[in-house]
Amino acid sequence: MKRVLFVCTGNTCRSPMAEALLKQKLNDEIEVQSAGIYAVPGSDASEQTKEVLKERGISFAHRSQTLSLELLNWATIVLTMTESHKQLIISQFPEMNKKVFTLKEYAQGEDGFSGDIADPYGGSVNEYRFTAYEIETMLEKLWPNK
């Protein structure tokens, strides 16, 4: 079974949003977790993240976790929200370089482009909605018609 790990900075906005959206999309077809490079373990998802997920009918209990070698080893694929997240992971864990990609890079394939998922941290609910839309667009490219 494929295991996807989404990674962002604090594991309260983008990566838990991606985790929840993919879990809703694929149900139990794959295992999904999220983590943050600088996460404070046990933090809840941001209020805006919870609101955007609720608007999509997603009930999601979340507690942040810090990225670890154990999580990286668990994952079949590691999808980061930014190029800098990807580079930091590869610099600290070079043995992971074949399974770490930005979400946009992985979704677009070799002919696509890299790029970052916008960080809505501290922003309005509309900014979080845009981030959710950006993530959903990439997930649809990876798992169409699901």
Tell me whether residue 13 is one of the annotated catalytic residues: no
Could you tell me the sign of the dihedral formed by the alpha carbons of 112, 114, 115, 117, in that order?
Answer: positive
Choosing from 3, 56, 116, 119, the catalytic residue is 119
Tell me whether residue 8 is one of the annotated catalytic residues: yes
Tell me whether residue 111 is one of the annotated catalytic residues: no
Choosing from 3, 8, 63, 129, the catalytic residue is 8
Choosing from 3, 14, 28, 116, the catalytic residue is 14
Question: Which residues are marked as active site?
Answer: 8, 14, 119
